[in-house]
Chain A
């Protein structure tokens, strides 16, 4: 199923530039964007920030039967990445199979197509990660 265009559009800063939030009260960083700091509640003050894209593999697994739109890419590695600034996110590791990755490996963000609504829909772009 194609992703709703409004959702795709709203998520462009997050997906293209790793835009998230930083709380200037407690200095906690959040990804994706948040409107409220769960630690500080009303005292929190959230500002937009861009993450550097550097991080490490926190955990991973190989996906052998991929969801619709990603069939051709299988098998691929889906990992939880711990960003250098703190937050974790889930993303594909490009150019790697199970034997190439281990927990703790340093990775860097790359810009790739994350799904394509075939045959006539949008190409959705966003972050994936590559081993340094």
Chain B
């Protein structure tokens, strides 16, 4: 793609509440060190009772708008990726668009592709702005995901959102979206049926044939398509269902794991599903210098990966100063819950 698309503003949101693996392990008689070391998780975020994918996407998007200094009415499309949309039928994107003041002269839709619905939204945004179908597109990923009580996912399923305002004027880019490449197959590694509260997954099957095949496939495909090698990049952000998989992906690709650490947020906030890889990207954008190259590869069960080449610009440092509530602000403010309060927050009682 002869690109004319870039990020003109980005924002994140992480709820205030946290629970530690020790506290969940205490209830189920598990060994907490096994979780901490095995999954690389220190704690995870938990949403408040009045929060969902829509409210989190709104706050993340307000931060993105603040950074961009662009009037919400100029947004031509809003795409929200999530696997925990608050309604089964009724779009989240209309709620978000209305709360931002972007309606009515615009289009909107919800996207679903497990944990990669947020990067799918970014790709659609790139297409719309570079084809002049929209001046600005808001693309967000947000999830308040649930793990079945006692399941391994209960230790990792967190809540959070990231939002990107994508534009086509280079003079406004805080980071240029140079190119993208996707790798997609039909793989039954993780699913949730229509009326089920909690997802089912293929256990160990989620590793090699699902996560690694697609993440490596998309990343290597991107290298080939654009003529890059791993050493061309300053940072790598991979989808992070836990704290271990992205580091293992880096090793398999021969990447110095130091280049992955700045974008590794799951150990502190849990796996935020549609938010996970793109919150990681925001974490890198919050520290990157102008003129650096970032590789982002998402993963969504089912399964697919979207890979991106992202170049930071000279505008980035000034743009960051306009946002008080950056990722570090959300990550550092926290209130710990015990399992009893956690159950109340996640309304798990009915399912126990």
A-B contact count (CB 8 A): 41
Q: How far is the CA of A12 from the CA of B95 in the complex (A)?
A: 10
Contact residues of B between 326 and 352, Cβ < 8 Å to A: 335, 344, 347
**Which residues does chain B contribute within 8 Å of A123, judged by CB atoms?**
52, 86-87
Inter-subunit contact B99/A113 (CB<8 Å): no
Inter-subunit contact A17/B49 (CB<8 Å): no
Interface residues of B (CB under 8 A from A): 16, 48-52, 54-55, 58-59, 86-87, 95, 98-99, 101, 335, 344, 347
Inter-subunit contact A113/B52 (CB<8 Å): yes
Q: What's the interface size class on A, roughly?
A: 10 to 19
Inter-subunit contact B51/A112 (CB<8 Å): yes
Inter-subunit contact A125/B95 (CB<8 Å): yes
Tell me if A49 is interfacial: C-beta within 8 Å of chain B: no
Given A95-B335, A110-B59, is A17 in contact with B48 using a C-beta cutoff of 8 Å?
no
Inter-subunit contact B99/A16 (CB<8 Å): yes
Tell me if A80 is interfacial: C-beta within 8 Å of chain B: no
Would you give 20 A-B contacts (Cβ < 8 Å), ordered by A? A12-B98, A16-B99, A17-B99, A50-B101, A72-B49, A73-B49, A94-B50, A95-B16, A95-B335, A110-B55, A110-B59, A111-B55, A111-B99, A112-B55, A113-B86, A114-B50, A123-B52, A123-B87, A125-B95, A128-B50
Interface residues of A (CB under 8 A from B): 12, 16-17, 50, 72-73, 94-95, 110-114, 123, 125, 128
**Which residues does chain A contribute within 8 Å of B48, judged by CB atoms?**
94-95, 112
- Interface of A, helix, strand, loop or mixed by DSSP: strand
**Which residues does chain A contribute within 8 Å of B101, judged by CB atoms?**
17, 50
Q: How far is the CA of A21 from the CA of B95 in the complex (A)?
A: 22
**Which residues does chain B contribute within 8 Å of A94, judged by CB atoms?**
48, 50
**Which residues does chain A contribute within 8 Å of B335, judged by CB atoms?**
95
In angstroms, how far is the closest chain A Cβ from the Cβ of B6? Answer: 27
Chain A residue at smallest Cβ distance from B51: A112
Inter-subunit contact B347/A72 (CB<8 Å): yes
Given A113-B55, A123-B87, A125-B55, is A73 in contact with B99 using a C-beta cutoff of 8 Å?
no
Q: How far is the CA of A110 from the CA of B87 in the complex (A)?
A: 21
**Which residues does chain B contribute within 8 Å of A110, judged by CB atoms?**
55, 59
8 cross-chain pairs, A with B, having the tightest CB-CB distances, nearest first: A112-B50, A111-B58, A113-B50, A16-B99, A95-B16, A111-B99, A112-B55, A111-B55
Inter-subunit contact A73/B98 (CB<8 Å): no
Inter-subunit contact B344/A72 (CB<8 Å): yes
Given A12-B98, A125-B95, is A73 in contact with B16 using a C-beta cutoff of 8 Å?
no
